[in-house]
A and B are shown apart, each in its own frame.
Chain A
Amino acid sequence: MTGLPLAGFLALSSALLGVGLFGILTRRNFVLLLIAIEIAMNAAILNFVYFAAFAPVAPLGLTGQEIAVVLVGFAATEVAVGLAIVLALHRLRGSINVAEATDLNG
């Protein structure tokens, strides 16, 4: 059995969430925006895996890993749909700058 610091892991995922949030707020390229969302989402998945590893009872730990498996599946789906939107946007506007996609503005 290896010993690892839980607080260190939580600090890592907090910092990764911060990096992802920074990217979401500053990037205007749709692909970069998707990457920033993926970084933030990976921070969340990491949290589930830490708590699974540090859980004192077995069923709880398994649940954490199962949720992580489901989240990885959803993240892959989200990238597929996101890239479809990127292609549609590029076909319609010739640019994937999210600041220019204002069709649904009221």
Chain B
Amino acid sequence: MSLAEVAFLLLAAIALVTAAAALLVRELVHTILWIGIFFVDLAAIYFLLEAPFLGVLQLGVYAGAVTVLLLFGIMVTRKRIFSREAATGIGPAPLALAALTVVFLATALGEFPSGSTSIRAYPPTALSTDLFGAHGPWLLLLGVIMLASVSGAIWLVREGRE
């Protein structure tokens, strides 16, 4: 087993454990900590897949901005940040449905090579040339959509609105 494969197995295990822990712990601030580790772990997987631009984007947008936004969302909606979430009864139906989805997707795994395949590296320069060159207008459209949604978000929380 190569070093890259060992690294992948380790990162995959961390991703699964932190994602499950984020949803199962009762202290909401601990949830944010777990999800922060989850996002950093995914960035490491992107670096392993030789996609450094996406790795940095994941670190900046997810591990940085989204985690802080979620923490902010928890801080402003409770009197004390360290307060426990009431336990919700986890019925068998959601667990069964989630497990069924995973089993259904796992049946398709046989179609793909199970051995190691060599991966291609794309330098960030090639990605940015293509993204800002050929697909420039679509990127601008994405910017407009994001601006519209952020304006909408500000409108939703503005003062004096009932």
Give chain A's interface residues, CB within 8 Å of chain B. 1-12, 14-23, 25-29, 31-32, 34-36, 38-39, 42, 46, 49-50, 52-55, 58, 61-62, 65-66, 68-70, 72-81, 83-88, 90-91, 96
Contact = CB atoms under 8 A, between A and B. Distances in A.
Contact of A70 (B108, B120, B142): B142
Nearest to B13: A12
B149 A80 contact: yes
Interface residues of B, number: 84
Interface string B53-96: 11001100110011001101110110000000100101101110
A29 B25 CA distance: 13
B127 A46 contact: no
Q: Is the interface of A mostly helix, strand, loop or mixed?
A: helix
- Report which residue of B31, B76, B119 has the largest number of chain A beta carbons within 10 angstroms of its beta carbon: B119
Interface in B101-157: 101-102, 105-106, 108-109, 112-122, 126-127, 130-131, 135, 138-139, 142, 145-146, 149-150, 152-154, 156-157
Nearest to A13: B105
A31 B53 contact: no
Contacts of B42: 42, 46
B66 A79 contact: yes
A45 to B, nearest CB: 8
Contacts of B9: 8
- Report which residue of B127, B152, B154 has the largest number of chain A beta carbons within 10 angstroms of its beta carbon: B127
B37 interface: no
Contacts of A18: 98-99, 101-102
Contact of B118 (A1, A8, A80): A1
B62 A84 contact: no
B150 A80 contact: yes
A65 B98 contact: no
B152 to A, nearest CB: 6
A48 B12 CA distance: 16
